[in-house]
Amino acid sequence: MSLENLEGPLSQFYGPSAIYVHQIERLSETNDAKTARCLYTVTPGQVKYDPKQLALNGMNLGNTGSCYIGLVDTDAERAKHHFKSVAVYPGHKVIKDAVAYRDFIMARGLYELHPNQVRLSSFDSVDFKGLILPPTQLTISQPGNWFENKSPIIVTNQGKEAVEIRGLTVVFFLEDERYIPALREDQLIEAMVQAAAATALNLGDADGLPLFQGIGRTRFLGQALVGETVEMKTVTTSEKRGFNGNVQAFVDGRLIAESQNMKAMIISLKVAEKLWGIKLDKS
C-alpha cells in the first residue's frame, strides 16, 4: 500500500488552513467496509489561538431562573476555514462553544477559575440537526439538572434546535497548560471527521459532499503538539446515501482520541449549491 496525498482533494472543499489530513493509506475494502490510516502533522498555524478569548458572547439567566443561556454570535469570520466557498459554522466549533458553556456553569457553580480553564474530555453523542449559516446568534442551554450534567446541551439557531450534545464532560487543567502549542480537542474531532470521509470516499473524483449528521461516543486521552504527526486508524461502513465511521487517533503509538459512529449523509454538489444558494468552487 502507498500513501496518497489528500491536501489537493480536500482543498476542493476547505481552505488550506482547515485541512487536518495530509495523507491516506488505504488498507482494505470489502463490499461495504473500508479501512485506512490517515496522517496529519500539526502545524504552528493550527494552534494559534488566544486562550483568554471567550468563545461565548454573553450569558443570560433563563425565564425560570433555573437555566443559564449562552449566546454565540456567528459571522463570516468565525465560520472561516470550513467550507471554502460558503460560510457554514463548523460543527466542531459548536462543540467548542458547548465546552465554554460548561466552563461557565462549573466556574459559577463551584470554582473561581480563569475562563477557558477546562478542556473537553468526552461526550456520549452529538446530533447535528441543521446547517448554521452566519450571521446568526446561537443560544446554548442545558435545561433540567444542568449542574449534575444529566440533561443534554441544546444549541438553538433562530428558534430551531440545531445541535444536541449528550453526556459532555470536561476536565480542569493548570493555567500554564493553556499555552501548550497543541490542537484543541474540537480540532481533533474535525481531523477524525475528515479521516472518516476520506476513507469512505474517493475525494479526488467525488461529486458529493459529506454532511455529518452525528457523532457517537468520543473520548480524549492526550494531545497532539506542533510538529507531531497524528495517525488516524479508520473503519467506515457504507449506509444508504452515506457512511458510518469509527476513528482512533495516535501520536507515537499512544492513543490520544477515539470516536465511534460518525454518521454522514452524502449530498451532491448540485444539491448543496441549491440548499445554500451559492456556487461551490471546485478548483
CA-based nearest residue to 67, from 185, 154, 1? 154
pLDDT exceeds cutoff 90 at 262 = yes
Last residue of a domain, one of 144, 178, 212: 178
| H helical segments located in 70-147 | 91-109
What pairing do the DSSP bridges indicate for beta strands 33-41 and 208-215?
unpaired
Amino acid 32: pLDDT: 83
Looking at the structure, tell me whether residues 84 and 108 fall in a common domain. Answer: yes
CA-based nearest residue to 192, from 250, 275, 150, 144? 250
pLDDT tens by residue, 77-98: 666 655 666 678 889 989 999 9
Q: What share of the chain is helix, strand, coil (3-state, %, to 5)?
A: 20, 40, 40
pLDDT exceeds cutoff 70 at 67 = yes
Residue 144 φ/ψ region, left for φ over 0, alpha for ψ in the -120 to 50 degree band, beta for the rest? left
pLDDT exceeds cutoff 70 at 125 = yes
- Residue 96, domain member (yes or no): yes
Looking at the structure, tell me whether residues 108 and 98 fall in a common domain. Answer: yes
- Residue 172, domain member (yes or no): yes
Looking at the structure, tell me whether residues 131 and 85 fall in a common domain. Answer: yes
- Residue 282, domain member (yes or no): no
Mean pLDDT, rounded, for 61-76: 76
Amino acid 112: pLDDT: 46
Looking at the structure, tell me whether residues 133 and 156 fall in a common domain. Answer: yes
Looking at the structure, tell me whether residues 127 and 240 fall in a common domain. Answer: no
Domain of residue 268, CATH code: 3.10.129.10
φ and ψ of 119, to 5 deg: -135, 150
CB 74 within 8 A of CB 135: yes
- Residue 41, domain member (yes or no): yes
Residue 277 φ/ψ region, left for φ over 0, alpha for ψ in the -120 to 50 degree band, beta for the rest? left
Looking at the structure, tell me whether residues 58 and 145 fall in a common domain. Answer: yes
Last residue of a domain, one of 141, 158, 178: 178
Consecutive H or E run containing 29: strand 23-29
Q: Count CA atoms within 13 Å of residue 103 on its CB side.
A: 23
Looking at the structure, tell me whether residues 234 and 153 fall in a common domain. Answer: no
Written in H, E and C, the secondary structure of 170-236 is EEECCHHHHHCCECCHHHHHHHHHHHHHHHHCCCCCCCEEEEEEEECCEEECCCCECCCEEEEEEEE
Looking at the structure, tell me whether residues 10 and 64 fall in a common domain. Answer: no
**DSSP classification of residue 144:** S
Looking at the structure, tell me whether residues 218 and 250 fall in a common domain. Answer: yes
Residue 231's domain comprises 3-45+179-276
- Residue 231, domain member (yes or no): yes
Q: Give 125: exposed, middle or buried? Use CB within 10 Å, 0-12, 13-18, 19+.
A: middle
Whether the link from the prior residue into 210 is cis, omega within 30° of 0, is no
Looking at the structure, tell me whether residues 110 and 213 fall in a common domain. Answer: no
Lowest mean pLDDT among 115-124, 143-152, 191-200: 143-152
Q: What percent of the chain has pLDDT over 70?
A: 77
Residues 6+ positions from 85 with CB-CB distance below 8 Å:
278, 279, 280, 281
- All three cell numbers of 28, joined, read 482494505
Q: What percent of the chain has pLDDT over 90?
A: 46
Amino acid 229: pLDDT: 97
- Residue 19, domain member (yes or no): yes
pLDDT tens by residue, 193-247: 999 999 998 776 556 677 889 999 999 999 999 999 999 999 999 887 889 999 9
Lowest mean pLDDT among 10-24, 180-194, 201-215: 201-215
Provide the number of structural domains found in the chain.
Answer: 2
Looking at the structure, tell me whether residues 64 and 145 fall in a common domain. Answer: yes
pLDDT exceeds cutoff 80 at 272 = no
Mean pLDDT, rounded, for 245-272: 91
Amino acid 110: pLDDT: 46
> Could you tell me the pTM of the whole model?
0.89
Looking at the structure, tell me whether residues 173 and 63 fall in a common domain. Answer: yes
Residue 56 corresponds to which amino acid? Answer: L
- Residue 110, domain member (yes or no): yes
pLDDT exceeds cutoff 50 at 113 = no
Amino acid 263: pLDDT: 96
- Residue 261, domain member (yes or no): yes
Last residue of a domain, one of 178, 211, 231: 178
Q: Across all residues in the chain, what is the average pLDDT? A: 83
